[in-house]
Chain A
Amino acid sequence: MLPAALAAMTEQLAVVGNASSLHRTGRAARRAVEESRERIARCLGARPSEIVFTSGGTESDNLAVKGTYWARRDRDPARVRLLVGATEHHAVLDCVDFLVAHEGAKVTWLECTPDGVVEPATVRAAIESDPDSVALVSVMWANNEVGAVQDVRAIADVAHEFGVPFHTDAVQAAGHVAVDFEASGADLMSVTAHKLGGPIGVGALVLRRDARLVPLTHGGGQERQVRSGTLDTPAIVGFATALTEATASIEAESARLVALRDDLIERAMAISPDIRPSGVWHRGDGVSRLPGNVHLLVPGCDGDSLLYLLDAAGVSCSTGSACQAGVPQPSHVLLAMGVAESDARGALRLTLGHTSTQADVDTFVDALPAAIERARRAREATAS
């Protein structure tokens, strides 16, 4: 957490008050919530009334996808088709699977380029195949694994041409690249606090005032009747503080992270000729790839071996693949990008953030050659 966010949240934790109550402490809490809402709205290019607080990105995605699907189908039973990017986060993918399995939804997966980008023409073709059946288009702003940033505005324009609402999962983008809800054209946008230096357990669904949603939780009618439940005031204050700080420093931080990222990628590629970054990567480019995202394919290695060896050397990274029952599976993102399954098993994902330093990059680069050598031997040992 950013220190300022931690301090603001800690201070608020000591303050009693339910933002839904009318008494003095309630009013104080409500003021903290509404000021936070205004700050968050300002940072995201939205109106305060468009911010619906949730428990985080997963809930925001669920609310956006299921809520829109049900609302659209209620008004027109023919609108049951979801157009969804093949590289979405599981918070979106699994909603779609649920709606297909239990709610009569149909899905058209939007294919991506080898760089992980969904072309607006792909969205257009998918809609045109049967325009009257489409309930929602959902394409993430930036990919969590390979950092690919989408042309959100162009996709939103295509959707709106056919009168279809557009949702974007901006969990990875907000606070890291310029995110302007109004300018993006999106109707719904998911964000979460902990990806931008705020606390875990709070996020928001940014929701245009004319967007129609069927709520997932029913109760006190908080948050425009869309998301009932007592608001977590301290977390919301921490969220707003973190986003304000991240937004204020976004240009300087982006430049700093891009330099670290490029240094790391170039030095890793120099170690072995078959190491390559996945997704879009251009030196100095913090626009088409998230500034802090490093994703390397290391052929001949298993990601979990690299993970262990690098962890032992003091580097925290992930394999860039989802776990099923604790067993790493090849990433659906890489497979959608056309990466061979055996190469996908050797994926390594590092995220550079506000605490990352040049020394961290050096530690990683120094540890990598020995890790690769041992990981390759380990794969050979178990392949026989």
Chain B
Amino acid sequence: MRVVAAMSGGVDSAVAAARMLDAGHEVVGVHLALSQSAATLRESARGCCTIEDAGDARRVADVLGIPFYVWDMAARFKRDVVDDFRAEYAAGRTPNPCLRCNEKIKFAALLDKALALGFDAVATGHYAQVVEAEDAHGGVRRELHRAVDMAKDQSYVLGVLDADQLAHSFFPLGDTTKPRIREEAAERGFFIARKPDSHDICFIADGDTRGWLTRELGEAPGDIVDTSGEVVGRHAGAFAYTVGQRRGLALSRPAADGEPRYVVEVRPETNQVVVGAADLLGVNAITGDHARWCGPAPEGVVHVGAQVRAHGEEYAATAWADGDRVEVRLEGRVRGVAPGQSVVLYEGTRVVGSATISASRLERAPVGSPGDDLSPATGST
């Protein structure tokens, strides 16, 4: 097959490209230029779009002896990921830009361009596995599964891929642990074998999301209130707060019970941040929209594992899809479920699909039980 290896300049995508080459594919390395002003990120230590990273990717491609190109997707990335990220926070939600990037850039814009140029697939250094299984008609269906290295598993951020995108995707690292990948990189003579992992959000170079949001959206001072509506502090912009957050609240008045308080709700319409006790954060019912299915959409009530954040825990749950909407009912309670995050559903190690969380709440009866009519959710805590 003719494969585009997306090469960030990091160790994972380097080994992924090498493995595709070893498997006998015709491989071309492509580095995505995603920053509007790549040159200004020259000194950044984080992220994955610096000139140095592009140079590292090119160096690896040269070692592998494969052609290498830089594709400029900065305008698409700005529109589909950065602008979306800003707008979501402004609306009081907590987005995950990596999912958006995978959905709109890496497995859409990049994949579409690759297919148009005559390639068959895109390979990335994500830790996840594609398993070929027999479908109902005796054909082959590609399933997305968790990586064997659960500490590195990135199937969560790939939960937005649909069957068509999956059909053209390779994740050659999913069967190997990260330490072993570093060893392999060293064995292959890649000088980046010990390069640190990238963390955080690639377009926020200093890792200070709140500072970035304040620069982008401007300061908007407002009140921090408790659940009774009493003002207990001030903030510089409600958009900078996330449900479940405890740190950085700088409350002027301690709680009467002396217990720590958490953000339990962000109200962009009144520019208020609501804080409350930890037990207010516990939910067992999640409503999601923007459903994406990695295979056939589930029919009826299904038993799944639900994960609400990257590298988070998986909770036993039942789920029910209705078009674009998904209802998830957890067997226990989970804290810190913020609107805008994604809930990714698993069946064993297989990724079923994902949805963007629009609301969560505490319910008494399990999903699918008598009287559950999937009516529009109310309340957002």
Contacts and interface: CB of A to CB of B under 8 A. Distances in A.
B67 A324 contact: no
A65 B76 CA distance: 40
B31 A381 contact: no
Nearest to B67: A311
A380 interface: yes
Candidate in A305, A309, A323, A378 with the most chain B CB atoms within 10 angstroms: A378
A308 B117 contact: yes
* Top 5 closest pairs, chain A to chain B, by CB: A325-B38, A326-B70, A381-B112, A377-B116, A378-B116
Contact of B71 (A304, A323, A324): A304
Contacts of A304: 69-71
B321 interface: no
Interface string A368-384: 00000011011011100
Contact of B113 (A312, A323, A328, A378): A378
Contacts of A309: 117-118
Contact of A375 (B69, B76, B117): B117
Interface of B: 28, 31, 33, 38-39, 51, 54, 58, 67, 69-74, 76, 109, 112-113, 115-118
A381 B71 contact: no
A326 B51 contact: yes
Contact of A324 (B28, B38, B76, B118): B38
Contacts of A305: 113, 117
Given A312-B67, A326-B38, A326-B58, 6 more contacts: A325-B54, A327-B70, A374-B118, A378-B113, A382-B109, A382-B113
A326 B73 contact: no
Nearest to A326: B70
Nearest to B54: A326
Contacts, number: 56
Contacts of B67: 308, 311-312
A382 B54 CA distance: 21
A302 B35 CA distance: 19
Given A308-B69, A381-B113, A327 B33 contact: yes
A327 B51 CA distance: 10
Nearest to B28: A308
B31 A326 contact: yes
Contacts of A325: 33, 38-39, 51, 54, 70
B254 to A, nearest CB: 50
Interface in A51-94: none
Contacts of B33: 325-327
Contact of A382 (B28, B39, B70, B112): B112
A381 B74 CA distance: 15
Nearest to B110: A382
A330 to B, nearest CB: 11
Contacts of A326: 31, 33, 38, 51, 54, 58, 70
Contacts of B28: 308
Contacts of A378: 113, 116-117
Interface string A5-48: 00000000000000000000000000000000000000000000
Secondary structure call for the A interface:
helix
Interface centre among A312, A325, A375, A378 (most CB of B within 10 A): A325
A309 B2 CA distance: 12
B118 to A, nearest CB: 6
A377 B115 CA distance: 9
B70 A381 contact: no
A307 B118 CA distance: 14
Contacts of A312: 67
Nearest to B30: A308
Contact of B39 (A308, A324, A377, A380): A324
A184 B121 CA distance: 56
B76 A382 contact: yes
A317 to B, nearest CB: 13
12 contacts: A304-B70, A307-B69, A308-B69, A308-B117, A311-B67, A326-B31, A326-B51, A326-B58, A327-B38, A374-B117, A382-B112, A382-B113
Contacts of A324: 38-39
A327 B73 CA distance: 10
A316 to B, nearest CB: 11
Contacts of B54: 325-326
Interface string A308-343: 110110000000000111111000000000000000
Contacts of B58: 326
Q: Which residue, of B58, B69, B70, B116, has the highest number of chain A Cβ atoms within 10 A?
A: B116
B122 to A, nearest CB: 13
B285 to A, nearest CB: 37
B112 to A, nearest CB: 4
A160 to B, nearest CB: 40
Nearest to B58: A326
Contacts of B76: 382
Contacts of A308: 28, 67, 69, 117
A347 to B, nearest CB: 15
B354 to A, nearest CB: 23
Nearest to B74: A327
A89 B23 CA distance: 44
A261 B310 CA distance: 57
Contacts of A375: 117
Nearest to A375: B117
B63 to A, nearest CB: 17
A325 B72 CA distance: 10
Nearest to B42: A325
A372 to B, nearest CB: 12
Nearest to A307: B69
Contacts of B109: 381-382
Contacts of B112: 381-382
A327 B72 contact: yes
A378 B33 CA distance: 17
B42 to A, nearest CB: 9
Contacts of B38: 324-327
A338 B31 CA distance: 31
A312 B118 CA distance: 11
Nearest to A381: B112
A381 B115 contact: yes
Contacts of A381: 109, 112-113, 115-116
Contacts of A311: 67
A377 B73 CA distance: 16
Contacts of A380: 116
Contacts of A327: 33, 38, 70, 72, 74
A349 to B, nearest CB: 17
A314 to B, nearest CB: 12
Given A308-B69, A325-B51, A326-B70, A374 B39 contact: no
B52 to A, nearest CB: 10
B4 to A, nearest CB: 10
